[in-house]
Amino acid sequence: MNQIKSLLLFSLSLICFFQAVAQNSYQLQLAGDLTSDQASSILQTAKEVAQSEQVLVNIAIVDAGANLKAFLRMYLSYLVIIDLAIN
């Protein structure tokens, strides 16, 4: 149970961090959309952070309209976290 709480807290912190990254990227773009290269870069950074923390997560990157742009399920991460990550 503590591991699930830790995963949820870690996921929420990643969401806040990458929302700030996406917001900064958003401000730099005239169209206001997240490019696939930016989404891939954010996804790679999130993966590196999760690996450095030794936490298995599912990472979902969405654009300004909440449309899925990139997704990664780390090997052996919980399947039930997929929907949570996307939503």
Q: Give the amino acid at 73.
A: R
pLDDT at position 18, please? 58
Domain map (residue ranges) of the chain: 2-86
Q: 84 or 54, which is more confident? A: 54
pLDDT at 49 over 70: yes
- In angstroms, the CA 32 to CA 53 distance is 31
Q: Give residue 40's pLDDT band: very low, low, confident or very high (50, 70, 90).
A: very high
pLDDT at position 45, please? 92
Q: Which residues contact 40 (CB under 8 A, 6 or more apart)?
A: 70
pLDDT at 42 over 60: yes
Q: Is the pTM of this model over 0.75?
A: no
